[in-house]
Structure 1
Amino acid sequence: MDLFNSALGRNITFVHPAYFLISGFIGIPDIKYYYGFLFFVYIVSVLGNTTVMAAICLDHKLRSPKYIAVFNLVFVDLFGNTALVPKVLDIFLFNNNRIAYNDCLTFLFFCYTCLCMQSFNLVALAYDRLVAIIFPLHYSVKVTHRFMFSMIAFFWAFVVLAVLISIGLLTRLSICGSVVINSYFCDHGQFYRLACNDHFPNYVVSCLYPVIIFWLPLVFILLSYVYIGCTLVKVANVQQGLKAFKTCIGHLLLVAIYFIPLLITFTLMEKIHPNARIINLSLTSVFPPMLNPIIYVLQTQEMKESLKRLLKIRGRPKQTVTKIVKVIAV
């Protein structure tokens, strides 16, 4: 960040506080029950995402390009909730709401990187479904392992660069007055509004990034499913059309639980109480990572069969030992 600032002007001095105070959940009645709920959500998220990751790694039948995107999605979900929930519980449950300046920027980086990558992962899965249904004979040519790896790598590079730019602009702000961030984490919007110098570039970023990272992916996903729907309507065999659409249900549920809460929260942001807004935003951050692996296990036949195979393999040594014991006893 020093290189970033020096490139903009060597003689400029920025006032950076030693720490910030995170105050998002303070003052909300009976909030301790919510902390217990967050802990439960985190445990379920860790177990679910770890299970899906293990199934993809251990089962050679789940080595298709689609499951590269699925693996990346559950990895981001696990990493994102691990970056957010334990820190949130440490801040509010144990009253450690003072966070150092650099730690705040680091916290912001990991939270926003994972949140943005969830959006682009859904784009990768939407593209996979689009090609699989519209161009089934060309799927193995158009969606290869190399292509999927390249697309995921491009999304990672883009997101990391975008978040680093926003953090670089934050380091150019002078915080002269309040150091209280009224959110449950080091929120970009709450951060730059504390500045006493010009924060117009940060305001532009806060308006531009949601369009690029949330609205454009959502428009692409919706248009891809409109195209899929129009194609399936033209299919003569209704059963084949329904069978093809069933492969999209899991992805559609992931899209719904990720985008709908965000759209509702930001649409009604000015009309709801600040405490309710903070609770809603925190739920939209932790809920999708918990529900994604559950949806994929329940809605994807390949994943269910994979877990059954893995459980049978793990159960075989126990059965073998039991048979040996019986033989010895005889």
Structure 2
Amino acid sequence: MRGTNQSSVSQFLLLGLSRQPQPQQVLFLLFLIMYLATVLGNLLIILAIGTDSRLHTPMCFFLSNLSFVDVCFSSTIVPKVLAIHILGSQAISFSGCLMQIYFLCVFAVMDNFLLAVMAYDRYVAICHPLHYTTKMTHQLCILMVVGSWVVASLNALLHTLLMARLSFCADNIIPHFFCEVTPLLKLSCSDTHLNELMILLVAGFIMIAPFVCILVSYVLIACAILRVSSPRGRWKAFSTCSSHLAVVGLFYGTIISLYFNPSSHSGGSDMAAAMMYTVVTPMLNPVIYSLRNRDMKGALRKVLTMNVALPLR
């Protein structure tokens, strides 16, 4: 294996979602609105959790990290999409493409890990409520988040370095709105078996293992809820998980439809599913969590009223 990239292609061309003039403007406006909503919504969640002492809980700590990751996830993709659809700036350098792959891998895996950690938090809260404070300590929460960042970064570095060793000889057109690993592997004129093997083994395990942890956690949670004699108690226990379940369903539903459904790899539906988990899901996460949490709604109301009152002074 050679240590340097022997590519004769210095840049790639991202086709975006449409090449027609009129849809370009509509797509620019749509992506801009979704991006602003994503950044504003997630930053409000982080601000509300940081300023309200009632929300200084392990679950809200993980939620604030999830909001930060969602802002970074969208910021890795959407600004370039906006440039494609309003400025016609389809070109992205080879190094820029590798950087986008790296950060996309980091933030996608972090989303995955944080959802698994939050599922474990709900399991401890419902199945072991008397030991919740001793099990979910501040040190453990920090350790789980830092560990997730380390594993996500190492995984992304592995796939980025493997991509950097490939050669791209002629075709440089990526039929997508961001640099994704699979379309790039199809453009390479090098042997990509090692890349594909690492994606299957390493990335596959890193994505599937947290999903299995989430499933196991919720099976145990469901068993615990069914043992509650009071219907009101069962509903109260379920309601503490409903927001997380909605986010899990949205995140994994789009990923499964994109990567595990053969009929989805048909151009338009492929990009629609990718847009769902890279742009739409980060925008909806703060809405889902704020609607189902009374303390979160109160903290957000306090933050918004405080910001409105400041200019009036």
TM-score w.r.t. the length of structure 1 is: 0.87
Question: Aligned residue for 1:162?
Answer: 155
Q: CA RMSD in A?
A: 2.3
Cα distance, 1:98 vs. partner? Answer: 1.0
- Whether the 8 Å CA contact 2:105–2:155 is kept in 1: the answer is no
What residue number does 1:5 align with? none
Which whole-Å CA distance do the structure 2 matches of 1:63 and 1:170 have between them?
A: 41
Mean Cα deviation higher: 230-239 or 207-216:
207-216
- Tell me what 2:30 maps to: 37
Which residue is equivalent to 1:181?
174
Once the two structures are superposed, the pairs formed by residues 187-198 of structure 1 within 5 Å of their partners are 187-198=180-191
* Structure 1 segment 136-175 matched on structure 2, within 5 A: 136-175=129-168
For 2:9, the equivalent position in structure 1 comes to 17
Q: State the match for 2:125 in structure 1.
A: 132
Amino acid of the structure 2 residue aligned with 1:237: S
| Structure 1 residues 233 and 106, CA gap change in structure 2 (3 angstroms) | same
Distance 2:123 2:111 in 1: 18
CA contact (8 A) 2:42 2:68 kept: yes
Distance 1:13 1:220 in 2: 38
The separation in 1 between residues aligned to 2:309 and 2:16, in whole angstroms, is 51
AA aligned to 1:141 is: T
Say whether the 8 Å CA contact 1:15–1:174 is kept in structure 2: yes
CA distance in 2, matches of 1:31, 1:83: 22
1:96 and 2:89 are equivalent in the alignment: yes
1:202 aligns with 2:195: yes
SS of equivalent residue, structure 1 residue 193 = helix
CA distance in 2, matches of 1:134, 1:265: 34
The CA distance in 1 between the partners of 2:19 and 2:305, in whole Å, is 50
- How far is 1:103 from its partner? 1.1
Task: Determine which of 281, 298, 306 is the counterpart of 2:299.
Answer: 306
Change (3 A) 1:308 1:279: closer
User: Relative to structure 1, is the Cα distance of residues 56 and 213 closer, same or farther in structure 2, using a 3 angstrom cutoff?
Assistant: same
2:195 is paired with a residue of what secondary structure? helix
Task: Summarize the Cα distance change of 1:241–1:102 in structure 2 as closer, same or farther, 3 Å threshold.
Answer: same
Q: CA deviation at 1:316?
A: 7.3
Paired with 2:12 and 2:141, the residues of 1 have a C-alpha distance of 40
What is the match of residue 248 of structure 2? 255
Q: After TM superposition, give the deviation of residue 49 of structure 1 in Å.
A: 0.6
1:15 maps to a residue whose letter is S
Which secondary structure does the structure 2 equivalent of 1:20 belong to? strand
Distance 1:16 1:155, change over 3 A: farther
Deviation, structure 1 residue 300: 1.1
Q: CA deviation at 1:271?
A: 5.2
Query: Using the alignment, how far apart are the partners of 1:303 and 1:171 within structure 2?
Result: 44
**Post-superposition shift, 1:201?**
0.8
Deviation of 1:309 after TM superposition, in Å, equals 3.9
In structure 2, what residue type is equivalent to 1:17?
A: V
Are the counterparts in 1 of residues 47 and 303 from structure 2 also a CA contact under 8 Å?
A: no
2:6 and 2:311 map into 1 onto residues whose CA distance is 65
- Is 1:63 aligned to residue 56 of structure 2? yes
Which one is further off, 112-121 or 202-211? 202-211
Q: Percent identity?
A: 30
Q: CA deviation at 1:275?
A: 2.3
CA-CA distance at 1:76 after TM superposition? 0.5
Q: Is the 8 A contact 2:167 2:189 kept in 1?
A: yes
Counterpart contact for 1:24–1:278, Cα < 8 Å: no
The answer to whether the 8 A contact 2:126-2:221 is kept is yes
Summarize deviations over 1:219-240 as a string: whole Å, max 9, x none: 2112211111111111222322
SS in 2 for 1:93: helix
Deviations 1:194-242 (A, max 9, x none): 2212111111123234522332222211221111111111122232222
Aligned to 1:236: 229
1:265 aligns with 2:258: yes
* C-alpha contact (below 8 Å) 1:56/1:71 kept by paired residues: yes
Runs of 5+ unmatched residues, structure 2: none
TM-score, normalised by the number of residues in structure 2: 0.92
Cα distance in 2 between the residues matched to 1:182 and 1:211: 24
